[in-house]
Amino acid sequence: MRTKYLFPRYAAALLLGLMALSTLAAPADTWPSRPIRFIVPFGPGGANDLVARAVAEAVSKQLGQTILVENKPGAGSVLGADFVAKAAPDGYTFLTPAGGVVTNAMIKTKMPYKDEDLVPVAMMSVSPSIIVVPADSPIKDLKGLIAASKAGAGLNFSTAGTGSTPHFVAEMLKLKSGAKLHIIPYKSGSEGMVAVMGKQVDVTSEASVVVLPQVQGGKLRAIASTWSRRIAVLPNLPTAAEQGYPDVLIGHWSGVFAPRGTPEAILEKMNRAVDAALKSTELRSRLIPQGIDPVGGTRAEFVKFLAAEKARLGPIAKAADMKED
């Protein structure tokens, strides 16, 4: 009699198991079935916004679904990041931030979300920082900048605010070379760049995509880039490492993050779509001439990069006593 009921019970259990598996598989199998949102935690027109829109267009072709780009600026990118951290983890809302997603927690006393609430999906690109001075400045290279800063009262270095990439560049120069630099914060990197052109300040460092037109137009002189390799469209500009300062290393990177709890299969599918888009000739020919280095890669590679950034930049923020504005 026991055998009589064993098969029906086994069959029922098997059926329930298959139903459960199909439920888990369904999101990835059917995703994306409607438009996706990329949330840019900055205003329109900046380097991060430009990259997000270019990548969104290319990724939408990979996925066969529209990707809408929305700007949610505020609080040094925290507002947009918090919005995504609290969004439904269904694969239809992603964050496309810059380095602030790593450094904000280093300088802010209180954050509305935890780091683990945002899951790394893919690295999009890096816009290397370029250290620039006025076009007619006597400073020709990084050693000349450092020597000039030590010769008198010091040089004024404009930044995009506390904890910004230009701020980290200035603090790296101070810590690693003994440069005498006075930090002058502006509301944006573009304003800081304009201040250099107008000679209100002596020097700044800003994303290649921002300063490149001014360098090519003869309004600024580029004296160093701060990434691990030279910029394709400025092949004669040496890196800080090539000039003897390997610890002056940072770039304006941008990536894709998802709310915690987003299904793994969807994260992997988005990663593969971003990576394929960044390998396409169409997108590369759009980004590289603007001084933007397409990256891509696996999720594991992106996680490794983020861990290295935290480990490297944390001590600098602490040594410089960086505090939120």
* Model confidence at 214: pLDDT above 70: yes
Closest CA to 84 of 209, 216, 256: 256
For residues 181 and 215, give the distance between their C-alpha atoms in angstroms, rounded to a whole number. 22
Bigger pLDDT: 207 vs 11? 207
Place 9 in a pLDDT band, splitting at 50, 70 and 90. low
Give residue 246's pLDDT.
94
Query: Average pLDDT for residues 118-132, to the nearest whole number?
Result: 96
For residues 151 and 144, give the distance between their C-alpha atoms in angstroms, rounded to a whole number. 10
Give Cα separations from 97 to 13, 77, 258 (angstroms).
Answer: 45, 7, 11
Place 45 in a pLDDT band, splitting at 50, 70 and 90. confident
Contacts of 217 (CB under 8 A, 6+ apart): none
Closest CA to 316 of 228, 225, 247, 243: 247
Give residue 28's pLDDT.
62
Residue type, 249: L
Q: Using the Cα atoms of residue 302, residue 304, residue 308 and residue 314 in order, give the sign of their dihedral.
A: positive
* Pair type for strands 36-40 and 181-185: unpaired
Query: Average pLDDT for residues 101-124, to the nearest whole number?
Result: 94
Cα–chain-centroid distance for residue 74? 16
Kindly report the average pLDDT of the chain as a whole number: 90
Query: Average pLDDT for residues 248-256, to the nearest whole number?
Result: 94
Task: Report residue 306 as tokens.
Answer: 């983020």
